Amino acid sequence: MVNAVLRGDRHAFGMLIKQTEGLVAQITFKMISSPGDRKDIAQDIYLKAFKNIGGFKFKSKLSTWVGQIAYNTCLHYLEKRRLVLLENYGTNDEGDEHQLPDESDNAEALLSQQYLKTVLNKKLDQLQPLYKTLISLYHQEELSYAEIAEITALPEGTVKNYIFRARKQLRENILKNYKRDEL
């Protein structure tokens, strides 16, 4: 596919976009909060990929290479706007507890499952951009620690550590506002 893109085959580049759009979306949606900026950044990512495809060294998967471009583009955006990738923000100190729906039958169980997913996504969105990105790449895109390390240019041990911290912070944020025995 890389050679076809180098020859100017637009269909091949379209296939590249189709194969990597989920990964690019995960990275941009977790690192960038502004929906309008996400779209511009995604276009910028693929423009950079198209311009730099000749520099692809076949040392990793093509999707990992595009993921690196996405991560670095988002990181540059955050740095340019002086936004911090990791800090203590996003916690909800309101202290209000929420009741979870009763699971008495299948319909209610399904609603409860959807409710838990909504709670998890809400709390995930409150994590720092780097933590959100790492959790998404590992759990939703199912990338290995090595692939995530390659995308983020972080040591593999650091990736593992940050994912551990992100999970811990996510758990603490959820338990802070919801009764432990109801989750």
Please give the average pLDDT of every successive group of 10 residues along the chain, which has 183 residues. Answer: 79 90 91 87 92 85 91 87 53 39 48 68 84 88 91 93 92 76 53
For residues 58 and 43, give the distance between their C-alpha atoms in angstroms, rounded to a whole number: 23
CB contact set of 2 (below 8 Å; sequence gap of 6+) = 53, 56, 58, 62
- What pLDDT is recorded for position 104? 41
- What pLDDT is recorded for position 57? 84
Domains and CATH numbers, the chain: 2-80 (1.10.1740.10), 106-182 (1.10.10.10)
Statement: the pTM of the whole predicted model exceeds 0.75: no
Burial of 117 per CB tally in 10 Å (0-12, 13-18, 19+): exposed
- What pLDDT is recorded for position 83? 56
**In the beta sheet, which residues pair with residue 178?**
98
For residues 2 and 58, give the distance between their C-alpha atoms in angstroms, rounded to a whole number: 9
Number of H helices, E strands in the chain: 8, 0
The structure tokens 């779209």 sit at 39
